[in-house]
Amino acid sequence: MGKTGCWASLAIAAILTGCGRSGPNSESVRTPAVNSGSTTPPISDRAEVVTKSGVEMVYLPAGEFIMGSDKGNPDEAPPHRVRLSAFLIDKYEVTHAMFSKAQLPNPSHWRDNPKKPVERVRWRDAKQYCNERSLLEGLRACYNEKTADLDCDYAANGYRLPTEAEWEYACRAGAEEPYDFGPAEKLRQHGWFADNGDQKTHLVGEKKPNRWGLFDLYGNVSEWCEDVYSPTYYRESPPVDPQGPPNPGKDVKRVMRGGSWKASADMCRASFRLGERTGDTDACFYTDYCGFRCVRRARPEELSELQKIR
Partner 1 sequence: MTLRNGLLTLLNLLSSTRFSSVCLATVLFATTAAASDAGASFREQLSRLPFKIAFESYINDNWEIFVMDADGSNPVNLTQTPKEHEHYPQVSPDGTRICFLEDEGEGRDTIRSLYVMDADGQHRKKLVDHAREPFWCPDGKAIGFLPQEYPKFNVLDYYTTGMSFYELSTGKIEPHPNSTNLHHLYNPCFAPNGKWIVATVHAGMGVSHGMMLIEAHGDKIINLKIPGCRPCFSPDGKQIAWGPGDHEIAAAPINLDSDEPLVGERRVRIQDATNKIYHVDWSPDSRFLCLSRGPNGKGDLSKPGTFQSACEIVGVHAAGWNLCAVSAERDGILDLLHATEADFTMLTTNGFSNKESAWLWPNRKQENKQ
> Of 143 and 193, which has the nearer Cβ to partner 1?
143
DSSP 299: -
Site string for partner 1, 248-287 (x = CB under 8 A): --------------------------------xxxxx-x-
**Single-letter code of the amino acid located at 21:** R
In the complex, least distance from residue 70 CB atom to partner 1, rounded to whole angstroms: 37
Q: Which of residues 129-148 bind partner 1 (CB under 8 A)?
A: 132, 145-148
| DSSP SS3 for 57 | strand
**CB of 113 closer than 8 Å to CB of 203:** yes
**CB of 64 closer than 8 Å to CB of 165:** no
Tell me how far apart the alpha carbons of residues 129 and 49 are, in angstroms, rounded to a whole number.
20
> Per CB under 8 A, which region of 37-45, 70-78, 101-109, 221-229 contacts partner 1?
101-109
Q: Which of residues 14-73 bind partner 1 (CB under 8 A)?
A: none
- Residue 291 within binding range of partner 1, rule CB under 8 A: no
- Residue 153 within binding range of partner 1, rule CB under 8 A: no
Pick the binder of partner 1 from 233, 288, 294, 303 (CB under 8 A).
Answer: 288
**CB of 61 closer than 8 Å to CB of 19:** yes
- Residue 199 within binding range of partner 1, rule CB under 8 A: no
Q: How many residues bind partner 1 (CB under 8 A)?
A: 22
> Per CB under 8 A, which region of 1-9, 97-105, 157-165, 254-262 contacts partner 1?
97-105
**CB of 173 closer than 8 Å to CB of 43:** yes
Residues 6+ apart with CB under 8 A from 248: 228
> Of 158 and 213, which has the nearer Cβ to partner 1?
158
**CB of 122 closer than 8 Å to CB of 278:** yes
**CB of 223 closer than 8 Å to CB of 256:** yes
Q: Which residues would be at the binding site for partner 1 (CB under 8 A)?
A: 103-109, 111, 120, 124, 132, 145-148, 280-284, 286, 288
